[in-house]
Amino acid sequence: MNKPFSPRRRRRDGRAFSLIEVVVVIGIIAVLIGLLLPTTRIVRERAKAVQCASQLRSLGQALFAYAAQHGGTLPVTSFWHVAGGDGTGDDAPGPGWTEQLAPWYAPPTSSVYDCPAFPAEGYRIHYFLSARWARIANPFRPATLSLARIRTSSQFVLGGDCTGGMLYPISFGQRADFSTDDCDKDDAIDPCLTFPSDPGGGLALHSGGNNVLFADGHVDWKEKFDPQSMTFHPTHIQAWADVTEE
């Protein structure tokens, strides 16, 4: 006589798995997954931060190479520029700084300008070039800075993650008067490097902070503006909003 079918699976020793045992195993698996997921997320975020820092270091080396061929000066920054534009529409006349730098680095449309932790999808340039002091010192000329003027090279913010909303069009940022991405992001008029603790807030792309490129070529993670290790003035310590000509 055939035995009735039993949904219980049997072990090799012939004993069936009880419902309680199955539930316990499932519970253990769920706990392990719960423990692993945050670790996986942290590792993934760390990898993005490392990639971003590497890109910024490479950008710094390209800027130094450009300066070596241009009397020690960095690329000129001015207004809003569209990569490959013809000087009409959103594109201001002349090339943006990323376009000027292209022969020494990469085209503006290259992914090397794309921070992998940035929330916006699609083509964006996520790095900026310092121009705050250069614009204040020469308000009627396109901003450019000579590396020889920088006496605070290990503290001077040369560039970094551009988290200021005014540097992006309204689809992501705050500039309703532009529909394109600016390939000439600089902090001459509006701050580029912003943090959640700043007035008006800002993004924190890497574990609560942002990557910063300094004028000596090193890249460091910063949670906020640190007056002990950061400055936007080439000769003494000043926050972005406090920069003066002298």
Using alpha carbons, select from 122, 123, 115 the residue that is nearest to residue 204.
Answer: 115
Pair of tokens at residue 229: 């290790």
> Which residues are registered as beta bridge partners of 61?
none
CA distance 45 to 51: 10
> Which residues are registered as beta bridge partners of 169?
175
CA dihedral sign of residues 234, 238, 244, 246: negative
Pair of tokens at residue 28: 């253990």
> Which residues are registered as beta bridge partners of 186?
129
Q: Which domain holds residue 163?
A: 19-242
Q: Is 147:63 a contact under the CB 8 Å cutoff?
A: no
Number of domains into which the chain is organized: 1
The CA-based angle 57-62-63, given to 5 degrees, is 95
Annotate 179-192 with DSSP letters as a single string.
Answer: -S--SS-B-SSS-S
Q: What pLDDT was estimated at residue 21?
A: 67
Let me know if residue 66 belongs to a domain.
yes
Pair of tokens at residue 223: 């949670």
Let me know if residue 13 belongs to a domain.
no
Q: What pLDDT was estimated at residue 154?
A: 96
Let me know if residue 8 belongs to a domain.
no
Using alpha carbons, select from 72, 54, 69, 40 the residue that is nearest to residue 153.
Answer: 72
Digitized pLDDT (tens) for each residue of the chain, 246 residues in all:
555 544 444 555 555 667 776 677 777 777 666 666 665 677 788 899 999 999 999 999 999 999 999 999 999 998 999 999 999 999 999 999 999 999 999 999 999 999 999 987 667 899 999 999 999 998 877 778 999 999 999 999 999 999 999 999 988 888 989 999 999 999 999 999 999 989 878 889 998 999 999 999 999 999 999 999 999 999 999 999 999 987
Let me know if residue 179 belongs to a domain.
yes
Q: What pLDDT was estimated at residue 123?
A: 73
Question: For 84-119, how does the pLDDT look when each residue is reduced to its tens digit (9 = 90+)?
Answer: 999 999 999 999 999 999 999 999 999 999 999 998
CA distance 70 to 72: 6
Look up the pTM and report it: 0.83
Let me know if residue 10 belongs to a domain.
no
Q: Is 190:200 a contact under the CB 8 Å cutoff?
A: no
CA 69 from chain center: how many Å?
27
Q: Is 170:137 a contact under the CB 8 Å cutoff?
A: no
Annotate 12-73 with DSSP letters as a single string.
Answer: TTSPBPPHHHHHHHHHHHHHHHHHHHHHHHHHHHHHHHHHHHHHHHHHHHHHHHHHHTTTTB
Let me know if residue 12 belongs to a domain.
no
CA distance 205 to 238: 24
Residue in the structure block whose two tokens are 């009735």: 4
Q: What pLDDT was estimated at residue 119?
A: 83
Let me know if residue 3 belongs to a domain.
no
Let me know if residue 6 belongs to a domain.
no
Q: Is 134:144 a contact under the CB 8 Å cutoff?
A: yes
User: Which segments within 79-139 are labelled E, that is strand?
Assistant: 127-129
